[in-house]
Structure 1
Amino acid sequence: MTDQIECSGAVARRRLAFCGAAVAALVCGSAVVAQEAGTNSASSGGGALEEVVVTARKRTEDLQRTPISITAMSGEALEARGVTQVTELSNFTPNLIFQNIPSNSGVASNASVYIRGIGQNDFAPTIEPGVGIYVDGVYLGRTVGGVFDLIDVERVEVLRGPQGTLFGRNTIGGAVSLTTQEPGPSFGFKGDVKYGTDNLVNVRGSVNLPINDAVALRLSGGQLSQDGYVKHPFDGRDLGNKVSTTLRGALKAELTPDLKVVLAADYFLDKSHGPPVVITGVGDLEGFVALQNALAATGAPPPSFGGPGDPSLCLTPAYLNTPGCYNSRYFSTDTNYGSGPNYSRVETWSTSGTVTWNLGPAEVKSITAYRHLKGAFAQDRDGSPIKINHVADTYNQEQFSQELQLQGNVFDDRMNWLVGLYYFTEDGANLNPVDFLPVALQSGGRFNYKSWAAFTQETFRVTDKLSLTAGLRYTDDKKDYTPDQFFTALPFGPLFTCYIPTVHACAVGDRVVPNTVVKARSNAVTPMVNVSYQVTGDAMAYATFSKGYKSGGFTQRIFPPEQSLPSFNPEHVDSYETGVKYQTADHRVRLNLSAYLTKYRDLQLLVADATRVGPFYTNAGRAEIKGFEAEFSAAPGGGWRLDATAGLTAAKYTELANNVQGLTLDSKFALVPKWTLSGGVENRLELGAAGSLLPRLDVIYRSGVFTNANGVNHPKLYQPAYAVANASVRWTNKDGRYFVVAGVDNLTDKKFRTFGDYQASFGFYMEGFDRGRQWYLRSGVDF
C-alpha cells in the first residue's frame, strides 16, 4: 500500500520531499512542541526560545552543543501542553512510537516502544525491550507497568539510536529517560484537577518541604480514573477504563558542600476491566474457529482434530443464530461479547538511593535501586460467549541494580572522561493458564537473570571547534529460565503427542516441555565513535558510528508439546548517523537535523508458524533502516511560537531465515509508520491585570501502518495514514500562580486502529481503536 500524507485536510505527499528543505515541510500542518527543557521559555512570555539543558551524556550540557539526536522537554513544557501520560511523548518526538497495547494477554498497562523502527511489543519476560526506559537513571527491566502518569517530572529526554556505551541494558533502539524533581530549599506546592470525557478525573499534586538548610523533602501523587469505551454486555464492566494511583517521595540531604544523597521511593497501582479490544472478523476459517464451527454445523463430537462438519455453514445467514457458531454476530468496533474473565491489575513499588560526591578533580556517582512488580490479568480473547481462546497471567518480578560512575576533566578541561560499572539482576515468574477449544494448559515459567557491564567514554576537544568522543561498553548477560507448562484438561481426548519421559499420547498432567532449567549466555562489546565540529557559535555538525546489542531469550508460549524449549540469539545493530544543529544568535529560531543508517541483524521477531499455536520468537534475519529527524522551533515575536517535527523510518527486510512464515522481503515492519510528523502554533495574548491567554493548536500525523502485533502484514489490520488535531486555550493569572485550561483532543473525532492481532491458529481478528474525541477542563495552582 502507498503511504499518503494529509496536510491541512488534503493529500499532500509531494510536499514531503523535504530532505534538502526541511523547514518547508515541517511547517506543513501545525505541530507539537520541539525540544524544551529550560525554564525561561518563549511560551511563558520570553522573547526568545528557551535554553535547553540535557544530561544524555551523564553530564550537564547545552542541547545545541550535544552531538547526538535527542528530543528533550521540561516538566513545565509538558504541563503547558497537557501531557500527563508517558505515551503522549510520541506526539512531539520524531521516529518515536510509544503505545499501550495488550500484546498476547489482557494487560492494560504494557509499554510498546519503538525508536527508528527498533523496539518490542511483547510483555513476556523471555524477551527484552528494544528501547530502555529510565527513571532517575534506573532502568525498568519489564514493559508491564511501563505506561504510567507523569507526576512531578523535571525533564524528559528521548535519545534516538543505540545507546550502547553509557546506558544500562538493551538500548539497541534508543532510550527514554525521565528525571523527576529533586527536593529544593524553598517551600512550594502545585496541584491541578482535570475533568473530561467519559467521567475523566485526574487529580495531581506535589509539595516541597525544606526541613533545614541541608535537608528537604518532596512528596507527590496523583489519582486518575475514566470510564471505559468498549461495551461489555456480559457484566456491564466496559473495557478500556482507567483507574490508577501514583505516589512518590524523595529526601535530599546535602551532607557537605561536596556530598549529596537523594533517597526516593514510589508506588504505582493500575487496575482496570481490561484493554479496549473487539473482534472484527474471521480469516479463511482457520484454526480453532474452523473447528468450533465444524462442531456447531453438525452437533457431533469430533473424531479428529479437523472436525466432521462444514465450518463455512456458520457464516451463512441461515446459521447466524445457531448455538455454537462463531460468526458476524460477535463482530463489532465498539462492543466485546466475551463472557470469560477480563481484568488487569498491575502494582509496582521501588526505592532508590543516589549519592553524588565531588572529589575535586573527579566526581563519583552511585545509583542503587530495587523495584518490585506484581500483576494479574486475564482476557477472553475470542470476544464471544464461546470458549475458543481464554488466557490469564500472574506476573511477578523483582529487580536490583547498582551503577557506579567516576568522571572528571583533565588537560586544562580539554578532555572529559567517564568510567563506570553496572550490575543488574532480576527474578520472578510469569505463569499463564490458557484455555483453548481442544485443550487447557498452564504455560509460562520462572526466570532468573543477571547482567553486568563495564563502560567508558571520553571526549577530547582537539581545538576550540573540533571534538572527538569515543566510548566502549562490555556487557555480560546470564539467563536461567524454568518452564512450568503442563496439560490441565483435554476435553476431546488424547489428540496430541507428548515427549516426556517417552513419546506417548498426551494426558492431563503431562508436560508440554521439560520442567528443567534452560540457560542462555551472551556477551558483547559495543563501541561508539563521534566527531563534532562547531562551525560557528550558532551551528554544529557531527557524525557518529555506534553498535547496539540486545540479549537473547526464549519462546515462552509453547503448544503443541516440544522436546525442548526454543531459544533465540542476541540481536545487533550497526548505526551510522550524521547531524546538524543550528540556532540563530538571538535564539529565535532553532533547527536540528539528523540522518541515519542502521544495519540490523539477527532481529528477534514474533512470527507466524503453521506448526505452532502460540506466537513464536525467532531470529528472523536482517534488515536495513534509514531515515532522518528534523526539529524546528521559532519565536518570531508578538507572543507567537511555531514548533514542528518530522521523522522518516524507511525499514526493509534484506534477508529472512528459512523458518520465517508469513513474511517476505517486501513486508513492512509492524507498528512502525514510515512518517511521523507534528506541528504546533500558539500565541500568547496579554490581558494586563487579568493575566494572559494562550491558545494552541497541534496536529500529529502518522503514515499508514500494519497493526498486527505478530508481524504478518494482514490487509485487514492495516491502518491508513491519519492526522489528529488537538486544541486548547489556557488562562493564567498575572503572577502565574493560577491557571485554567479548556481543550479538545482528537478534534475531528478520527477513528483509528491502535492494535491488531490475527493468528491462524485461532482464526479471528482482534483489534483496538482510539477512544476518539475527548474534551477536558483543567485548573491548577503553583506557588
Structure 2
Amino acid sequence: MSVCCALPVGWVGTAQAADAAPAAAPVPESTGNEIVVTATKREQTLQQVPVAVSVTTAAEIARAHVRDINDLSTLVPSLRVSEHQSSAQTDFLIRGFGNGANNAGIEPSVGVFIDGVYRSRSAAQISDFPDIRRVEVLRGPQSTLFGKNASAGVISVTTAEPQFKHGGSLEVSYGNYNALVIKSTMTGPLTDNLAFSLASGYNRRDGVVHDAGSGQDVNDRKRGFMRGQLLFAPADGPRVRLIADYSTIDENCCAVVNLLSSSTTSVIRAIGGKVNPTSDIYGDVYTNFGSINRIRDYGVSAQIDHTIAGVKVTSITAWRKNTNYNNQDSDFTSADLLSRNMADITDTTFTQELRLSAKLNDRASLLLGAYYFNEKISQTGQLLYGSQMRTYADQLIRGASSNTLNVALLEGTFGALEGNPTKYTNRFFASGTGLNKAYAMKDESISVFGQIDFKLTDRLTFTGGLNYTKDSKRFSTGTVSSDAFSGINLNAAAYAPLRYQLLYGGAVAAGMPTTTAAAYASANMNNAAVNPLAALRALQFMPPFLNVPNAVESGRVSDDNLSFTARLAYTVSPQLNMYASIATGFKAASINLSRDSRPALSDSAAIAAGGLATTNLRYVAGGGRYAQPEKSTVYELGLKGNWGLASVNIAAFYQQIKGFQSNIFTGTGFDLLNADKESVYGFEFEGQVRPTRELTLSQSLTYLVPKYDSFTNSSFGNVSGMTPAGIAPLSMTLAATWDHVLPNGHHVILRGDWHYESPVQIQDGLPGFLSAGVSAALNAARPYRRTVSQIDASLSWKLNNGLEFAVWGRNLTNDRYISVVFDSPAQQGSISGYVNTPRTYGVSALWKY
C-alpha cells in the first residue's frame, strides 16, 4: 500500500528541505509521514508536498514481494500497468491516461525517471531494482518541472545511495513455476569522502502458459541486473554521485489467446492449424515457435550538487543505450501463416539537466532550471509470410467468391491481362515475401523552467511555475514490400474483362435477363463502387509503402509549448494542510514508426500530382505519419492530514487532454491519431490508521469518470460521448500489516492486501466485428470486460541478527482476466487477447549485514 501523508509541519519553501541532511549520513528507513520525497525536485516530507503523489517504500515492496515495476499497480490504484506484444511493450496509465507501447516513435504520456534520469521508452523502464529505496507516482500533468515527458504523470524511482558504513544484503527467493530470485547489495567507504555500492539481481521463472504448438512455456521471466555507484561527499565542496548500470531481459513473451472465432478460424483448422478453443482461454495456446524478447539496457549518469553563496546547484548528466530485439509468430496459431515478425530497435539518449534553487528571503524561494534531451532511434524489421499462407489465402479467396476464384487462377489471369501470363506465377502469398522495414528518428528538445514559492501569510503559500519546451523531430523510413498480391490495383483498367465476367455471371446480376446482365456488367466493369474484386482487398495485407522524406513530406516536425502551474497551499492547523491548483501538461508530436505509417489526407492531391502515389496507398484523415502534440490541464483540490494514529490524503480533480495521441492496433498495423478531447474527473483517497502499535491498516481508492468529449475520426468511427475503454471506474487497495515483537526481540510480520478494479470494457471497438458480418448490435455491446480482484499476502520471521525468512503469495485466489483485446492478425472477424499472471507463491530468505 502506498503511503499517503507525512509529519504535520506545514508547507515549506524550496531551499530549506533541500539542504536538510548531511551528505554522507546513512539514510534511515523512514515510514509513514516521515518519508522524504522529491516530487517537486527538492526534498520535502510527503505531508509538505502540495501535489497528488503516492509513495511506495522499499519495505512495502519487499513485504508485498513486488518483483518488477509491472506489479506496482496493485499498490497504487491510480496507476495501471499493461503488458502487450512483448516484454518491452508495457503501458503505464495514470488516472486512465497513457500510451506508448508497440511503437518506438511514440513517447509515453507517463514519464519514468530513475534517479532523476528520464527513461524514454518502456524497454528501458522495466528492469528490476535490487537496491530500490522508494517509488513516487505523481498523478496528473507534471510538465512544469518534468517537461514534455509528463503530460499524464510521472513515475520516479529512487535507488539507495552509497553509505559511509559497511553493509549489504543477500536475498534468495524460490517459488512455483521454478521461480528463482537472487538479489544482493554491498556498500561502504573507500576513503573518508568516497563511498561505493554494488547491487545485482537475477530473476528467473518458467512460463505460466503452455504453448502446445511450439512445446515451450510462455510468459516466463529471465532478467539480470547490475548497478555500481560512487559517492564523493566531502565536508565542503561539490557532492558527486556516479552511477553505471547494465540489465538484460531474455524472455518468451507474451501469450495470446483466441477469444472470438470466425470463418477464418475454421480455415486455419482445415489446413491443419490449431487455435485454442474459446471455451478454454486460460489453457494452452498454439504457435509455431517461441517468441524472442532480448533487451539490453545500460548507461551512466553523474549528479553533482554544490551550494554556492546560498544557491544550490544541481547537474544531472546521463547517457543511455537500449537495444531491443524481438521476433514473434504473430498469427498466434500453429498454422505457418506468418513466419517472421521481427524488430531490431536501438535507442540512444543523452540528457542534461541543470537546476538552481535558493531561498530569496523569509517568504520566497526560487527554483530555475534547463533541460536538454537528445534521442536517436533506429529500427529494422521483417514481416514475412509462412509456408501455409498461400494455402490459407487460397481457401479464403475461394470462400469469398463462391469458389469462382483461387490463387493460381488470379495469378494467371492478372498476368495474362497485363500481357505476361507467367508474371505472377507462384508469387501471391509466397513464403518469405512480405515487408522489410526500416525506420529512423532523431529527437532534440530543450526546456527552460522556473518555479517560485511565496508565503503570502504565515499559513498561505502561493506557487507559480512556467516551462517552455521546444521539440524537433526528424524521421525517415525505408520500407519495401515484396507482397505481390498487395501490389495489385483491383480497380485497374487492365482487369476490366475479369470484372465484366464476374459481374455478368455473379450474384450481382442474378435473376436479371441475360441481356440486362450483360448491359449491367458492361456499364459497371470500371465502377469501383461495385467492383466484384473488392472483397479481396482484405487480403492485401502489406501494400507498397510510400517512404518519407519525399518531395511532399519532409519527415520533420517541430513543436513548442508554454506550460504552467499555479497553486495555493494553506496550513489549516499543525495537523491539516489543504491546496488548490491548476496545471498544464504537454507532449510533443509522436511519430508513427510502423508499417501503417500513411500520409495525411490533406497531402493526397500533392502526392498524386507529384507522381508519388503507390498502389493501394491509404491516406489518413488528420494524421498518419505522426500525431499532433497533446496538451493536458488539471484542476485539483487536495487535503493532507495527520493526527498521530491516523493520516489521510484526498484529491478531487478534473483533468482533460486535448489532442490525446491514440495508438490503436488494427490487426495489420497501428493507427496513430489525435482524439480531439478526452477528459476524466474523480477523486483519490489514501488513508492509514494504527489502532495499536503492532497493527497498521491502510486503504487507497481511486474513482474515475472518463469520457471521449470529442473523437470523430477514431479507428472505430465517431466515439464522441462514449466512455474510453480500459479505465475502471473504481480501483482500490486494502492492506494490513501486523508486526508482532516476540519476547526475544524477534519480529513476526503478517501482511496482506487486496487489490480490486471494478468491471470495465476492455476495448473501444473491434473493427473485425462488422467487417466479418457480425451484427452491429454485437459491436455496440462491446462484450469484453475486465474485473480485477487480487489478494497478496506474506508471513515473515525477522531475527535480531539480520536474518529474515518469509512465505509469500501473489494472486492467491488465482483471479484470471483478459487485460487487452485486439483484432487477430490476418484473421478477419477473429478477436485475440492477453491474459494476466496466475497465482504465484514461494519462500524467501534475507540477510542484512
In structure 2, what is the Cα distance between the partners aligned to 1:482 and 1:342?
28
- The answer to whether structure 1 residue 557 and structure 2 residue 594 are counterparts is yes
In structure 1, what is the Cα distance between the partners aligned to 2:454 and 2:6?
26
Residue 146 of structure 2 aligns to a residue whose secondary structure is coil
Aligned residue among 568, 571, 574 for 2:633: 574
Aligned residue among 213, 218, 227 for 1:234: 213
Worse overlay, 74-83 or 414-423: 74-83
Q: How does 1:183-332 map to 2 (within 5 A)?
A: 183-283=162-262, 285=263, 289=264, 314=266, 322-323=270-271, 332=281
User: What is residue 479 of structure 1 aligned with on the other side?
Assistant: 473
User: What is residue 535 of structure 1 aligned with on the other side?
Assistant: 572
Label 1:462 to 1:750 Cα distance change in 2 as closer, same or farther (>3 A). Answer: same
Instruction: Note the alpha carbon deviations across 1:756-777, whole angstroms, 9 max, x for none.
Output: 2226864332222123111110
Label 1:151 to 1:546 Cα distance change in 2 as closer, same or farther (>3 A). Answer: same
Cα distance, 1:707 vs structure 2: 3.2
In structure 1, what is the Cα distance between the partners aligned to 2:199 and 2:145?
29
Label 1:497 to 1:71 Cα distance change in 2 as closer, same or farther (>3 A). Answer: farther
Cα distance, 1:613 vs structure 2: 3.8
In structure 2, what is the Cα distance between the partners aligned to 1:745 and 1:673?
21
Cα distance, 1:558 vs structure 2: 3.5
- The answer to whether structure 1 residue 377 and structure 2 residue 442 are counterparts is no
Q: How does 1:145-160 map to 2 (within 5 A)?
A: 145-160=124-139
User: What is residue 308 of structure 1 aligned with on the other side?
Assistant: none
In structure 1, what is the Cα distance between the partners aligned to 2:248 and 2:557?
33
User: What is residue 54 of structure 2 aligned with on the other side?
Assistant: 71
- The answer to whether structure 1 residue 178 and structure 2 residue 178 are counterparts is no
TM-score, with normalisation over the residues of structure 2?
Answer: 0.78
Label 1:37 to 1:147 Cα distance change in 2 as closer, same or farther (>3 A). Answer: farther
Label 1:493 to 1:590 Cα distance change in 2 as closer, same or farther (>3 A). Answer: closer
User: What is residue 609 of structure 2 aligned with on the other side?
Assistant: none
Q: CA RMSD in A?
A: 2.9
In structure 2, what is the Cα distance between the partners aligned to 1:406 and 1:153?
27
Worse overlay, 356-365 or 511-520: 511-520
- The answer to whether structure 1 residue 396 and structure 2 residue 455 are counterparts is no
Cα distance, 1:154 vs structure 2: 1.6
> Do 1:194 and 1:778's aligned partners in 2 also have CA atoms closer than 8 Å?
yes
> Do 1:490 and 1:507's aligned partners in 2 also have CA atoms closer than 8 Å?
no
Label 1:523 to 1:321 Cα distance change in 2 as closer, same or farther (>3 A). Answer: closer
Cα distance, 1:358 vs structure 2: 1.0
Instruction: Note the alpha carbon deviations across 1:310-360, whole angstroms, 9 max, x for none.
Output: xxxx37xxxx95226776669743322111552111110010001001113
Label 1:199 to 1:738 Cα distance change in 2 as closer, same or farther (>3 A). Answer: same
Name the amino acid aligned to 2:845: S
User: What is residue 126 of structure 1 aligned with on the other side?
Assistant: 105
User: What is residue 369 of structure 2 aligned with on the other side?
Assistant: 420
In structure 2, what is the Cα distance between the partners aligned to 1:129 and 1:48?
31
Aligned residue among 724, 741, 746 for 1:686: 741
Residue 76 of structure 1 aligns to a residue whose secondary structure is helix
User: What is residue 822 of structure 2 aligned with on the other side?
Assistant: 757
In structure 2, what is the Cα distance between the partners aligned to 1:745 and 1:327?
29
Label 1:714 to 1:673 Cα distance change in 2 as closer, same or farther (>3 A). Answer: farther
Label 1:262 to 1:327 Cα distance change in 2 as closer, same or farther (>3 A). Answer: closer
User: What is residue 740 of structure 1 aligned with on the other side?
Assistant: 805
Residue 590 of structure 1 aligns to a residue whose secondary structure is strand
User: What is residue 407 of structure 1 aligned with on the other side?
Assistant: 357
In structure 2, what is the Cα distance between the partners aligned to 1:341 and 1:754?
21
Instruction: Note the alpha carbon deviations across 1:728-783, whole angstroms, 9 max, x for none.
Output: 11110135x11011012112111112232226864332222123111110111112
User: What is residue 606 of structure 2 aligned with on the other side?
Assistant: none
Worse overlay, 663-672 or 522-531: 663-672
User: What is residue 3 of structure 2 aligned with on the other side?
Assistant: 34
User: What is residue 5 of structure 1 aligned with on the other side?
Assistant: none
> Do 2:591 and 2:627's aligned partners in 1 also have CA atoms closer than 8 Å?
yes
> Do 1:228 and 1:276's aligned partners in 2 also have CA atoms closer than 8 Å?
no
User: What is residue 599 of structure 1 aligned with on the other side?
Assistant: 656
In structure 1, what is the Cα distance between the partners aligned to 2:350 and 2:475?
18
User: What is residue 789 of structure 2 aligned with on the other side?
Assistant: 723
Cα distance, 1:555 vs structure 2: 2.5
Instruction: Note the alpha carbon deviations across 1:58-109, whole angstroms, 9 max, x for none.
Output: 111121121110011322332233223112221121311123322xxxx213
Name the amino acid aligned to 2:204: S
User: What is residue 338 of structure 1 aligned with on the other side?
Assistant: 287
Identity %: 23
Cα distance, 1:562 vs structure 2: 4.7
Cα distance, 1:671 vs structure 2: 2.9
Residue 165 of structure 1 aligns to a residue whose secondary structure is helix
> Do 1:155 and 1:180's aligned partners in 2 also have CA atoms closer than 8 Å?
yes
Residue 603 of structure 1 aligns to a residue whose secondary structure is strand
In structure 2, what is the Cα distance between the partners aligned to 1:137 and 1:427?
20
Instruction: Note the alpha carbon deviations across 1:572-626, whole angstroms, 9 max, x for none.
Output: 1111001100101xx22101100110122111112477xx942211112212210
In structure 1, what is the Cα distance between the partners aligned to 2:30 and 2:211?
52
- The answer to whether structure 1 residue 357 and structure 2 residue 336 are counterparts is no
> Do 1:123 and 1:144's aligned partners in 2 also have CA atoms closer than 8 Å?
no
In structure 2, what is the Cα distance between the partners aligned to 1:86 and 1:760?
29
Cα distance, 1:273 vs structure 2: 1.8
> Do 1:91 and 1:678's aligned partners in 2 also have CA atoms closer than 8 Å?
yes
User: What is residue 589 of structure 1 aligned with on the other side?
Assistant: 646
Residue 177 of structure 2 aligns to a residue whose secondary structure is helix
Residue 804 of structure 2 aligns to a residue whose secondary structure is strand
TM-score, with normalisation over the residues of structure 1?
Answer: 0.84
In structure 2, what is the Cα distance between the partners aligned to 1:754 and 1:452?
37
In structure 2, what is the Cα distance between the partners aligned to 1:140 and 1:487?
33
Worse overlay, 220-229 or 619-628: 619-628
Where is the strand percentage greater, Structure 1 or Structure 2?
Answer: 1
More RCO (CA 8 Å, sep 6+): 1
> Do 2:210 and 2:218's aligned partners in 1 also have CA atoms closer than 8 Å?
yes
> Do 2:275 and 2:286's aligned partners in 1 also have CA atoms closer than 8 Å?
no
| Bigger Rg, structure 1 or 2 | 2
In structure 1, what is the Cα distance between the partners aligned to 2:559 and 2:171?
48
> Do 1:688 and 1:734's aligned partners in 2 also have CA atoms closer than 8 Å?
no
In structure 1, what is the Cα distance between the partners aligned to 2:299 and 2:487?
47
- The answer to whether structure 1 residue 766 and structure 2 residue 832 are counterparts is yes
In structure 2, what is the Cα distance between the partners aligned to 1:89 and 1:598?
23
> Do 1:453 and 1:473's aligned partners in 2 also have CA atoms closer than 8 Å?
yes
Instruction: Note the alpha carbon deviations across 1:654-687, whole angstroms, 9 max, x for none.
Output: 1123465345235332332221100011222222
In structure 1, what is the Cα distance between the partners aligned to 2:124 and 2:579?
36
Instruction: Note the alpha carbon deviations across 1:484-535, whole angstroms, 9 max, x for none.
Output: 211134368735799xxxxxx9999964434645111101000110000000
Name the amino acid aligned to 1:574: T
Which sections of structure 1, spanning at least 5 residues, go unmatched? 1-31, 39-44, 294-313, 499-504
User: What is residue 88 of structure 2 aligned with on the other side?
Assistant: 109
Aligned residue among 434, 437, 440 for 2:434: 440
Worse overlay, 245-254 or 688-697: 688-697
User: What is residue 305 of structure 1 aligned with on the other side?
Assistant: none
In structure 1, what is the Cα distance between the partners aligned to 2:275 and 2:223?
36
Label 1:446 to 1:738 Cα distance change in 2 as closer, same or farther (>3 A). Answer: same
> Do 2:93 and 2:99's aligned partners in 1 also have CA atoms closer than 8 Å?
yes
Label 1:249 to 1:37 Cα distance change in 2 as closer, same or farther (>3 A). Answer: farther
In structure 2, what is the Cα distance between the partners aligned to 1:545 and 1:442?
47
> Do 1:487 and 1:512's aligned partners in 2 also have CA atoms closer than 8 Å?
no
Label 1:508 to 1:237 Cα distance change in 2 as closer, same or farther (>3 A). Answer: closer
Label 1:47 to 1:548 Cα distance change in 2 as closer, same or farther (>3 A). Answer: closer
Residue 728 of structure 2 aligns to a residue whose secondary structure is coil
Name the amino acid aligned to 2:105: T
- The answer to whether structure 1 residue 87 and structure 2 residue 76 are counterparts is no
Label 1:33 to 1:70 Cα distance change in 2 as closer, same or farther (>3 A). Answer: closer
Label 1:507 to 1:164 Cα distance change in 2 as closer, same or farther (>3 A). Answer: closer
Label 1:260 to 1:325 Cα distance change in 2 as closer, same or farther (>3 A). Answer: closer
> Do 1:452 and 1:476's aligned partners in 2 also have CA atoms closer than 8 Å?
yes
In structure 1, what is the Cα distance between the partners aligned to 2:215 and 2:159?
39
Residue 149 of structure 2 aligns to a residue whose secondary structure is coil
> Do 1:37 and 1:155's aligned partners in 2 also have CA atoms closer than 8 Å?
no
In structure 1, what is the Cα distance between the partners aligned to 2:844 and 2:274?
45
Instruction: Note the alpha carbon deviations across 1:350-378, whole angstroms, 9 max, x for none.
Output: 10001001113101000000010001111
Cα distance, 1:382 vs structure 2: 1.9
